[in-house]
Chains A and B, each alone.
Chain A
Amino acid sequence: MLNIPLWRRLLIAAVLLFGLLFAMPNLFYERVEAHNDAVTAIEVFGDSPERAAARDGWPGWLPSSLVNLGLDLRGGAHLLAEVHLSDVYGTRIDTMWTDVRDALREERATVGTIRRQDGPDDELRVRISQPEGMSTALQAVRGLAQPIVSLTGVGANDIEVRADGDVLIVTLSEAERIATDDRTMQQSLEIIRRRVDEAGTREPTIQRQGADRILIQVPGIGSAQELKDIIGTTAQLTFNHVVGRTSNPNEAPGARNVLYPALDEPDTYYIVNKSAVVTGEDLVDAQPAFDQNGLPVVTFRFNTSGARKFGDYTAENIGNPFAIVLDEEVVSAPVIRDAIRGGSGQISGQFTIESTTQLAILLRAGALPAELTFLEERTIGPELGADSIEAGRIATMVAFAAVLVFMGLSYGLFGLFANVALVLNVALIFAVLSTIGATLTLPGIAGIVLTIGMAVDANVLVFERIREELKTAKGPARAIELGYEKALSAIIDANITTLIAAVILFLMGSGPVRGFAVTLGVGILTSIFTAIFVTRLFVVIWMERRRPKTITV
């Protein structure tokens, strides 16, 4: 049966139309890119004649998503950084010392005198002079343990305390380590993202990879070293005295004062004292938590000197706001309700759980929490990328033309059908890649060229089969029908095996290899579609119009 119902014809036509429409922006790459940039710029910075002109370079009602160009095509820098997660354990355990000391001093009668011992970085070792009081000591220190607030809400404590002879050892619990690792990673990602965004580059990729790695790809940047410099800069976090609040960005702040914009409130500016009360260097931790009313807050903790400075300041300024300033922007300006002694406090406000988590990250994001080692660095110059695109473009065109001629010579009219389907196939590939926001890399271009070669395979299978069926002389219509029917199983088997390879490449590969896997996979799917549905539709329409008595394939 060569009948294809009307709805199916319309559906095929609709898919092809989608393909052509969504592939088209890629033909006008620069113009569409300028348009997209201008649209974003207008949203952020407002209108200007140049931006409006760039925006109008491409009609707004047409699709404007483009295939992203990979680093190897656009040029830029790629870094793979490893975060030294265990660095943080030491700092974390170190801050326990004050609390542990105070707790044990209260039990001096049974425990005796205490002395901190040297040990591995992630352990706090305390020797007590009266070993028989160890059980009391253990109990006292265990009392300091805090339940871990995590999304899973499993009731684990943050520290483990054990005794080794007359030495009491405090370590972070496994659950706390996992939670700390996760915080460290989030914090590192956040800092790196802020640093890179600040540099104002286009479409940076900053991704967590595995347990302790971060992948950073920034197109258009001069070199990996430049990128490392940006990431390496530490954030400036300060706690400042608030002098006033205004909506006028040009207001004169007065001597020894500065005007900073508020991060979350539009058109709000704070006039703050230039010299900070406490700086981020004195902050040791910040965590999302809940206050006694169950409202989300952020708790924070200073080191000893920070605690003293902050305590004195807050005691003198009850009822006044102080500003938490991050990189010359006021993150928040809470009102001081009480003198904050002891170096820890909480920031309350109209917070949600998300915003407290975010704020805690930002507060901790003052400096990178742990050292980074760069495992992989790649710099690709923009000229090399442009050369690669040019070479790829020429090679694709030539491959395309050669395959078209070859198919035409081999299969005549049917070859032409296959050729039209092949053109549509390439359009579909670009349409899908643009729509899913895939990244085109140099091996990806090779993937497309390979697809051009292989896409005709399904057609060849069908045409060869039709030739065979014609020999047994059942009439052209029946031969075509049988050809499609019998070739289907081979087409599907053959393509699924290639698809398996593409999927494995995608799962295991990274960067350019992954780009290749995506184009190969998409190419396989679109070429099955064009071979089984599109070419067949052409053949059927031709048969209906001409009703040939004999055909040659």
Chain B
Amino acid sequence: MRLKLVPENTKWDFFRFARATFGASIAAVIASIAVFALIGLNFGIDFRGGTTIRTESSTPVDVAAYRAALAPLNLGDVTITEVFDVNFDEDQHVSQIRIQAQDDQESISAGTVASVEAALQALDPAITFPSVESVGPKVSGELVMTAIYAVLAAIGAVLVYIWLRFEWQFALGAVAALVHDVLITIGIFSVLQIKFDLAIIAALLTIVGYSLNDTVVVFDRVRENLRRYKKLALGEVLNLSINETLSRTVMTSVTTLIALISLIVLGGDVIRGFVFAMILGVVIGTYSSVFVASNILLMLGVKRDWTKQDPSAGTQFGNADA
């Protein structure tokens, strides 16, 4: 007996609630942009400069006491958060202290770090500092630009690739789906105020890749079915293709999620935000390849006359034999 997540031969109509699903997607995207504009992301030091110090001690973290100890140093905005993780021992108490970029210096001076460490050690002699990271405002500004360019470059490159391999309607549909995924992820990060740093950009780019992976598999089948069923309406071809690939879509998403969930639970707190972004990406990406990309393709329509060879039409890779 096989484990089947999706029943065989599904004939679900994915466009029956097209208005509702598409409307929900648009609403989610608009909400994400609004949240991003109003609350904004909780940028890590990679993007706004400053210093983070990780503390570790055998005595419990007392955020208020830490804050009081650091107050006389006049460091401006100081954020202290306690960190929890399943991998920690009973008496392992970890916190993360973030200090804003200091006005007069590129990266925070050794003296400042030493005074912070001394102040905390006076409070708790058992405290240690497993990591201290400091990024100057100059570099952080550049990192922001590089990150934006990276995401745009990835989207642009993919747009061109799909345009070459399929047709422009497919490329638009795929890119709309992935912009949707990236924006909603950013929106959720804004709402939850999870630290947004360079690693999250890496996760966003992976989402770009993953979201496309899914969309392309569906589109590949659409292209095949468009050739096979020349008389069938586009909506039906899309539905058929989504149904045919549904089992694969779910299987792959589930295996990837299994791997990611084990990573978010057991992989330690350092990469938790990163893995969380990927999980969001996989879930939203799977949804969008069915409900966003295909919907847009349906709206744009596709040229159906495959009898005449159109040089602008997509080319298929030849069959390679192993």
Contact = CB atoms under 8 A, between A and B. Distances in A.
Contacts of B317: 488-489, 492
B257 A375 contact: no
Nearest to A72: B270
Residue from the set B107, B153, B165, B319 with the largest chain A CB neighbour count within 10 Å: B107
A431 B87 CA distance: 29
Interface stretch (B19-27, B271-279, B301-309): B271-279
A495 to B, nearest CB: 7
B3 A409 contact: yes
A489 B271 contact: no
A460 B252 contact: yes
A224 interface: yes
Contacts of A454: 210, 213, 252, 255-256
A82 B248 CA distance: 50
Interface in A2-60: 4, 8
Interface string B229-264: 000000000000000110110011011111110110
A460 B262 contact: no
A391 B267 contact: yes
A490 B224 CA distance: 10
B11 interface: no
- B interface residue count range (under 10 / 10 to 19 / 20 to 34 / 35 or more): 35 or more
A497 interface: yes
A410 interface: yes
A384 to B, nearest CB: 4
Interface stretch (A103-111, A244-252, A400-408): A400-408
A378 B134 contact: yes
Contacts of A379: 131-133
28 contacts: A224-B132, A225-B113, A373-B136, A375-B139, A376-B107, A376-B134, A377-B133, A378-B134, A380-B130, A384-B131, A387-B268, A391-B266, A395-B266, A411-B2, A412-B2, A443-B199, A450-B260, A460-B251, A464-B247, A493-B165, A497-B216, A498-B209, A504-B153, A505-B150, A512-B198, A512-B199, A520-B209, A532-B320
Interface in B124-181: 128-136, 138-139, 146-147, 149-150, 153-154, 157-158, 161-162, 165
Contacts of B224: 486
B48 to A, nearest CB: 13
A398 B266 contact: yes
B106 A406 contact: no
B183 interface: no
A376 B45 CA distance: 10
B202 A392 contact: no
A248 to B, nearest CB: 45
A257 B157 CA distance: 68
A4 B322 contact: yes
A377 B109 CA distance: 10
A504 B266 contact: no
B259 A452 contact: yes
A430 interface: no
Contact of B258 (A394, A453, A500): A453
Given A375-B106, A508-B149, A446 B54 contact: no
